[in-house]
Every structure is written in structure tokens, then in C-alpha cells.
Amino acid sequence: MLSAPAVLTGLGIAVHQATGLTQNADSITPAGLTKLLDGIRWDKEPAFWSGIAGNTNVHGKLTIGGGAKDSGGRVADAVLYPNSTTGRQIRGR
């Protein structure tokens, strides 16, 4: 999953929050970012990523569709908010 454009975009958004360049409520520390990334299921499986960075096709396989603009924000939200529905999904909870 790490090579999918939407995932790379979402990770970029999350990493930016840990750079110290942001001065908002979403800022996190580098250690906080590491903790957020821990436990994410990076397998290309529909159970983890469907509806976030791709969709499930008729054969039950995950297809990486849309693109960075379409899905990057959903990936970032899932990474940054582990207790959200999508955050739990990418962590297999």
C-alpha cells in the first residue's frame, strides 16, 4: 500500500503535522507520529483500505482508484485519528 499515490499523499499530510511548521491543534510530535503509524496494516487488503485509499472490485480485490487528491485526505484522517471509523479500519480493529 505504501506505493499508492493516495497513501503517499496521506502520509505526507500526517508527516507535515509533525514537522513543527504547523501551529494548529492538529500539530503532533515526531514521537506522536511514530505512535500513530504503529499498528497500521499496510497489506493491500480490502478489509483495511477499501473506501479509504481504494475500492473493492467485483472479484473482492482492492483496486487503487481515484487519486491523491480524491483519497489522500481520507488516508490522512485515518492515520491521524486512530479512533475514528477509518482509523480503526486501517489498523484492523
DSSP 20-68: S---STT---HHHHHHHHTT---S--HHHHBTTTBEE-TTS-EE--S-H
DSSP reduced 3-state for 17: coil
* 31 Cα distance to chain centroid: 17
Residue 22 has pLDDT above 80, yes or no: no
How many angstroms separate the CA atoms of 78 and 85, rounded? 8
pLDDT digits (tens, 9 = 90+) for 34-88: 999 999 999 999 999 999 999 999 999 999 876 788 899 999 999 999 999 999 9
- Give pLDDT, residue 76: 95
User: Which residues have CB under 8 Å from 58's CB, separation 6+?
Assistant: none
The pTM for the full model equals 0.88
